[in-house]
Amino acid sequence: MAVIPISIVSDVICPWCYIGYRSLQRAIGLYQKTYPGGSKDEFEIIWKPYFIDQEAPSKSEWVPDRMNRRMKDPKMVEAAQTRLKRVGAQFGIQFKFEGYMGSSRLAHQLLYVVYKEKGSEMQCKVAEQLFRYQFEKEADVSDINVVVEAAVQAGLGEEEVRTWLASDVGIAETEKEEKEMRDSGKVQGVPHFIIGEQHLEGAVDYTEHLEAFIAAREAAV
């Protein structure tokens, strides 16, 4: 048996990070079914913070307005949404773009605390719910009530989550981790996967994940 370590550098307001995680999950399932001895191997996934908005926005913005402001071309926005919907559907994601989007700092704080208090498996469940709320339920994950609801859906207790988020726990640590990722020079954008010693940039095809799993396993045994 081998333990394959994976760090996912991402932002919960990044749609390609959602797709990238689903691709990773597909690759893990395929590896465990097809690679010799793969069913006995374990994966330890840790989510690392990345701020698409280096300066946290002061208020949330309607997603179409945000995309228009960034791309400066309505045709490009329409093409981007069409592509995301098409690719997302292949991974069971039903993207919607009529909600609001704001700062992801609160969500990152939660992910940090969840890993420290509950471990990687629960952190993964929370991350997936945060993506689902932002991109499929059109719920703004900068809203504390949305973040709490997503965490409860993942299996956490509401009172516990609200206590965490009402404190400063995880805030400075998240900021430090994010800065270290950027300053390393190895992370140019998200999603970014670190599988063993290998870095994969972007929402890569699941076959690239598989190759990285095998390399990491060979290095571990």
pLDDT of residue 218: 87
Instruction: Return d(Cα 171, Cα 18) in angstroms, integer.
Output: 23
Averaged over 154-164, what is the pLDDT? 97
- 198 beta partners: 195
Distances 90 to 19, 66, 93, 94, 106 between C-alpha atoms, Å: 9, 25, 7, 9, 29
Two tokens, residue 94: 């039903």
% residues pLDDT > 90 (the chain)? 83
Question: What is the chain's mean pLDDT, rounded?
Answer: 94
- pLDDT-derived band at 1 (thresholds 50, 70, 90) equals confident
CATH of residue 60's domain is 3.40.30.10
pLDDT of residue 171: 95
Does the structure show a pLDDT above 80 at 221?
no
* pTM for the full predicted model: 0.95
Can you state the angle between helices 171-183 and 105-118, rounded to 10 degrees? 100
Instruction: Return d(Cα 77, Cα 70) in angstroms, integer.
Output: 9
SS (H, E, C) the chain: CCEEEEEEEECCCCHHHHHHHHHHHHHHHHHHHHCCCHHHCEEEEEEEECCCCCCCCCCCEEHHHHHHHHHCCHHHHHHHHHHHHHHHHHCCCCCCCCCEECCCHHHHHHHHHHHHHHCHHHHHHHHHHHHHHHHCCCCCCCCHHHHHHHHHHHCCCHHHHHHHHHCCCCHHHHHHHHHHHHHCCCCCCCCEEEECCEEEECCCCHHHHHHHHHHHHHHHC
Closest by alpha carbon to 99, among 144, 133, 150?
A: 133
Averaged over 171-193, what is the pLDDT? 92
The residue type of 34 is: T
Domain span at residue 79?
3-220
Which tens digits make up the pLDDT trace of 37-59?
A: 889 999 999 999 999 999 988 89
> Structural domain tally of the chain?
1
CB neighbour burial string for 154-164, b if at least 16 within 10 angstroms, e if fewer: bebeeeebeeb
